[in-house]
Amino acid sequence: MDFSYTEEQQMLLDTTRRLIAERCGFETRQRNRQSPEGYSREAWQSFAEIGLLALNVPEADGGMGGGPIETMLVCNAIGEGLLLEPYLSSAVIATQAIARLGSPAQRARWLPQLADGSLIAVLAHDEAGTHHQPMNVLASATRSADGWRLQGRKTLVHHAAAAGLILVSARIAGGAGDELGVFAIAAGSTGLGLQHCATVDSQRAADIELDALIVPDSARLGGDARASLQATLDHALAALCADAFGALGRILAATIEYSRSRVQFGVPIGSFQALQHRMADMLMQVEQARSMSYLAASACDDPDPARRSALLSAAKALIGQAARFVGQQAVQLHGGMGMTDELPVSHYFKRLLAFELRMGSTDLHLERYRRGLIG
Amino acid sequence: MDLNYSLQDQQFRDEVRRFLFDALPADTRQRMRDGDDSRIKDDIQRWQGILHRHGWAAPAWPVEFGGTGWSKAQQFIFDTECALADAPPQLAFGIKMIGPVLIRYGTAAQQQRFLPGILSGADWWCQGYSEPGSGSDLASLKMQAVRDGDHYVLNGQKIWNTLGQFADWIFCLVRTDSSGKPQRGISFLLIDMKSPGITVRPTRLLDGTHEVNEIWFDDVRVPVDQLIGEEHNGWTYAKFLLGHERTNIAGIGASKRSLQRLKEEAAGIDKDGSPLLADVLFGTRVAQVEIDLMALEITNMRVIFADAEKRAPGPEASILKIRGTEIAQRLSELRIEAFGASALCFEGESRIARLDGAASRPSPASNASADYLNLRKLSIFGGSNEIQRNIIAQMILGL
């Protein structure tokens, strides 16, 4: 066992933190979230310049070939910085999907563009029915004379509007029943409809309508995508856990700091035992969440799928519970100031809420873990 | 970062498992499994003797004093495997408390006199810290020690003394000076339990057990060569003792064992034609505590590894203590939930009532309520969980 980071890993974490502090500070974020794009292209480009967008590109494809621990560190810093840029969507999820599923030609075409920041890609997988069964995809792909005809609806695809390339999962009609395919669609294609929305944590998302959308054969990535999609979603979940842990650390630090400076009854409110014990409880939950974020990252590559799924569900459930408790208590201890849009605390609170709701709720993962108890 | 044990640690774990399989006496193992403490002194001493002959008497002591030289990870593995195998606990007062104090602060003569008996288990040690007016505020303790030639003369009372009814020796905090700050003027004494003037009275607990005592000291004479370190400086040694040997403060092994057993039992209890473990509500509670324990084990390992350089864990141990005891208590709650009304029939009370023909062997259900009652102590002793939160607030959060 070893809980230390290598020198390179520590450097990666420090560099990411520094970049976010310089380019994506809270004031900048407050401006960016008021624009329709909802993020800064320039900041994105600066991510590319120091190689962060190449982190999940395999070395063989010219990337950094980072693993789950490296992704965890970057996403940890991203959560700390309340980042609005589409790192998880494009640089982790879509990049990994293409790296896993793409042909050599597809990888050669897209991965360098993803790494240099000129292309943003997203994976459109979630549907109304995938919340409880991640592979319960109803969108369909039917063979046509020109390739494939895609039909269906995808929900809450993060950063879809920013993407030049949308990867859509679809059930192969007339195939082996549960075969899934992934298809790459260029933004603006005929038959592709986007219904935009902003999420509770100031991110951009869209519901996507696929209406008789025709793509050529060359748009399909790989064969049956089920296992690769699952692996990609597992890595994404671990990355999301790291993001949440980053937010947890910062919201606790902000609360401690506030309780030291806020004076009532002639003393800092942090001197009151009722508040001290609350913050001790918050700290314990944050430390437990950190442990589970480590576990999630190290479980990503567990060869046993049942075990991998159980450990990731355990992590999502525990960190979700920490997010609920620590988030609520942070707002509570900030008093009225916790209710304002002005301080970061409410934004961390909302990021943690989004964590709870994304990629399966706390209860859903607790239930999934419970089913594993009885084999 | 690597959350897996090294090959070396895995081999060590296998070695410990093999040893436990071969060396732990079956009758002792069965009694531990049943929660049967009728021969607890023999069981603990016999097991300590076996460990001693194997060279494993004192996992955390330096090798030159008869310790093992194990890393903290190995000590953790050893504690965990012992718990999983239903081995008796090592008597903490000797091996984990007074032993390290003697090694750090004792004279050579004191070390030669006391360490062998601690290692072999021949000497049974107990602790005299708390007094009726001094619990969480331990430094307010009042038991008097007055110097009289080559002796101290002791008068006063200690409470919550664990298993002192078996003890050969007690280490005590006593007041030798009350003029300054309460922490100043406390001395640390080793006292022969056979000394004239010592009276041990059992304090019967809510589960019917005799686990703790109150001890009265009435003009008890203690030779000055049984003082640890300097007179009036006992608080330093007491703090060292409390801060020492906390690799196992979370009780991960014991909770893993309880969880294992809870799942086995719940799989065998029928609820409407299905195993209770398959029940959604009950199963979710089990899942929750299993997840919390999983996280705590990693948190525990993080503290151990971050700590590898230092001798004693810092205030992070308070996190382990609070969460570990909460989990152990929740597991005991789930067990009584599992047994339901069957847990009402209580062996401890039947014994007190001297009922003719009452079940003489503890049943798992009766054992479940005994455990539940007994384990309430976990969040109270060793610095209550509220005191631990004070420590976290002050030492970690800087409030």
pLDDT in tens, B131-177: 999 999 999 999 999 999 999 999 999 999 999 999 999 999 999 99
CATH 3.40.50.720 fits B246-396, yes or no: no
Cβ neighbors of B249 (< 8 A, separation 6 or more) are B313, B317, B320, B321, B324, B382
Residue B261 has pLDDT above 70, yes or no: yes
Report the relative pairing of strands A165-172 and A192-198 from DSSP bridges.
unpaired
Domain covering A123-221: architecture: Beta Barrel (2.40)
Residue B309 has pLDDT above 90, yes or no: no
Per-residue pLDDT tens over the stretch A42-84: 999 999 999 999 999 999 999 999 999 999 999 999 999 999 9
Per-residue pLDDT tens over the stretch B365-395: 888 998 999 999 999 998 999 999 999 999 9
pLDDT band at A227 (very low <50, low <70, confident <90, very high): very high
Q: Where in chain A is the domain with CATH 2.40.110.10?
A: 123-221
**For residue B242, what pLDDT is reported?**
81
Please tell me whether the overall predicted TM-score, pTM, comes out greater than 0.90 for this model: yes
**For residue A207, what pLDDT is reported?**
98
pLDDT band at A166 (very low <50, low <70, confident <90, very high): very high
Residue B308 has pLDDT above 70, yes or no: no
Residues of chain B neighbouring A1 (CB-CB closer than 8 A): 2-6, 9, 73, 301, 305
CATH placement of domain A226-373 = 1.20.140.10
**For residue B78, what pLDDT is reported?**
97
Residue B310 has pLDDT above 60, yes or no: no
The ipTM value here is: 0.95
Average of per-residue pLDDT values in chain B: 93
Q: Specify whether B309 is catalytic.
A: no
Residue B312 has pLDDT above 60, yes or no: no
Q: Where in chain A is the domain with CATH 1.20.140.10?
A: 226-373
**For residue A374, what pLDDT is reported?**
84
Instruction: Decide if A48 touches B, using CB distance below 8 A.
Output: no
Give helix A226-261 / helix A305-333 axis angle, nearest 10°.
Answer: 20
CB contact under 8 A, B263 and A373: yes
Residue B331 has pLDDT above 60, yes or no: yes
Long-range CB contacts (within 8 A, 24+) of B5-8: B5/A1, B5/B73, B5/B77, B6/A1
Domain ranges in chain B?
7-90, 125-233, 246-396
pLDDT band at B345 (very low <50, low <70, confident <90, very high): confident
Residues of chain B neighbouring A284 (CB-CB closer than 8 A): 319, 322-323, 392
Average of per-residue pLDDT values in chain A: 96
Instruction: Decide if A267 touches B, using CB distance below 8 A.
Output: no
Task: For residue B269, give how far its alpha carbon lies from the nearest alpha carbon of chain A (Å).
Answer: 13
CATH of B125-233 among 2.40.110.10, 2.40.10.410, 3.40.50.970, 3.40.50.1100: 2.40.110.10
CB contact under 8 A, A1 and B73: yes
Residue of A91, A87, A85, A88 whose CA lies nearest to A28: A85
Per-residue pLDDT tens over the stretch B167-179: 999 999 999 999 9
Cβ neighbors of B315 (< 8 A, separation 6 or more) are B391, B392, B395, B396
Residue of B301, B305, B304, B299 whose CA lies nearest to B319: B299
Provide DSSP, A353-364. Answer: HHHHHTTS-HHH
Residue A280 has pLDDT above 60, yes or no: yes
**CB of A313 within 8 A of CB of A367?**
no
**CB of B187 within 8 A of CB of B227?**
yes
Instruction: Decide if A230 touches B, using CB distance below 8 A.
Output: no
Give mean pLDDT, residues B258-275.
96
Residue B103 has pLDDT above 90, yes or no: yes
pLDDT band at A129 (very low <50, low <70, confident <90, very high): confident
**For residue A73, what pLDDT is reported?**
98
Instruction: Decide if A258 touches B, using CB distance below 8 A.
Output: no
pLDDT band at A132 (very low <50, low <70, confident <90, very high): confident
Per-residue pLDDT tens over the stretch B70-92: 998 999 999 999 999 999 999 99
Looking at residue B35, what DSSP letter applies?
Answer: T
| Closest chain B residue by Cα to residue A273 | B390
**For residue B307, what pLDDT is reported?**
57
Structure tokens that stand for B56 in this block: 């494993």
For residue B233, list its beta bridge partners.
Answer: B186
**For residue B359, what pLDDT is reported?**
57
Residue of B36, B24, B20 whose CA lies nearest to B77: B20
Residue B360 has pLDDT above 60, yes or no: no
Residue of A154, A138, A200, A131 whose CA lies nearest to A364: A131
Residue B243 has pLDDT above 80, yes or no: no
Plot region of A360 (φ>0 → left; ψ -120 to 50 → alpha; else → beta)? left
Structure tokens that stand for B299 in this block: 């948190």
pLDDT band at B206 (very low <50, low <70, confident <90, very high): very high
CB contact under 8 A, B322 and A284: yes
CATH fold group of domain A7-119 = Butyryl-Coa Dehydrogenase, subunit A; domain 1 (1.10.540)
Residue B357 has pLDDT above 70, yes or no: no
Residue B222 has pLDDT above 90, yes or no: yes
Per-residue pLDDT tens over the stretch A167-199: 999 999 987 778 999 999 999 999 999 999 999
